Amino acid sequence: MLRDTLGFPVPDFARAELGCGDHTKLKPTPFKSDNVVVLYDSDGRKLLAILSEVQQKKDDDKPYTWPLYLATVRDQLRCPVRLMVVCPDTATERWARRPIELETGGAVLRPAVLGPSNTPVVDDIDRAKRLPELAVLSAAAHGDNPAVLKAAESALDDLPEHTRLIYYDFIESKLSVAARLMWEELMATGTYEWQSDFARKYVGQGREEGRAQGREEGREEGREEGLEEGLAKGRREDILRLLEAHEVAVEASARSRIEDCSDLEQLDTWFTRAISARSADELFD
């Protein structure tokens, strides 16, 4: 009747059987979105609930759990809902934009996706200070633009120390190889004047380490190696600080694995995972 009378498409099938009509979960599985923002009018009526998800990589479970998030919040708040997905890279952004078909030929969920392709270019310092989180995302997406990096650096100056450290390192971890080399070159040559006390502190440390290593080695190759090792050392310390701040237990074997690693690319991957990790094993899995 669904197909022949009502005209809805039904796929070719080999057999049909009755399924359970009771959809109550006696042992509920916890489902949590990253954030929910509820908008109200002047009379206190709910206008819209915005569910935000930070998606670091493709996850085949999300096309099934995202509709569940929306349905649950819609039932709880009794208002329209919207899903917004924030993606740090182009591949994940393309994946998140794919429509999610909820029923054959019927309802389709189309997430609102923010990624590198549509992240605004924030190169104005005043705007960056008003919207520091947007400035951080802009720097991660458009790090090949020195004005964008300068604006983001200025925005960090007014933030709490712990937040600044996370944002500062997040930007660095998302820069391309070319953008990171440009950033380091600008800092090393002194042609790029950072304004905040926070940036001057860490940039100054990096310059001094580079000079000391250069004097010790006496050649350009030595200084480059010293700078790379200095960056790796800083990244190792950042990973351990993040885990400590999140009260994540770090066993001796995990700590040794982190402290023995000198691969910047690997350390950057671990740092990104440490931002949301709930156990040390999640860094390496």
Instruction: Give the mean model confidence (pLDDT) for residues 155-160.
Output: 83
- 10 Å Cβ neighbour count for 47? 10
The rounded radius of gyration (Å) of the Cα atoms in the chain is: 24
Q: Is the pLDDT at 56 greater than 70, yes or no?
A: yes
Give percent above pLDDT 90 in the chain.
16
What is the rounded distance in angstroms from the CA atom of residue 125 to the CA atom of residue 150? 8
Q: Amino acid identity of 205?
A: Q
The two structure tokens encoding residue 42: 């002047």
Segments in 33-176 forming alpha helices (H): 62-77, 90-96, 125-130, 132-141, 146-156, 161-174
| Band of residue 4 on the pLDDT scale cut at 50, 70, 90 | confident
| Band of residue 219 on the pLDDT scale cut at 50, 70, 90 | very low
What is the rounded distance in angstroms from the CA atom of residue 259 to the CA atom of residue 254? 9
Burial readout 27-39 (b: 16 or more C-beta within 10 A, e: otherwise):
eeeeeebeeeeee
Backbone angles phi, psi at 107, to 5 degrees: -65, 140
Condensed to tens digits (0 to 9), the pLDDT of residues 75-118 reads: 988 989 899 998 888 899 999 999 999 877 778 999 999 988 89
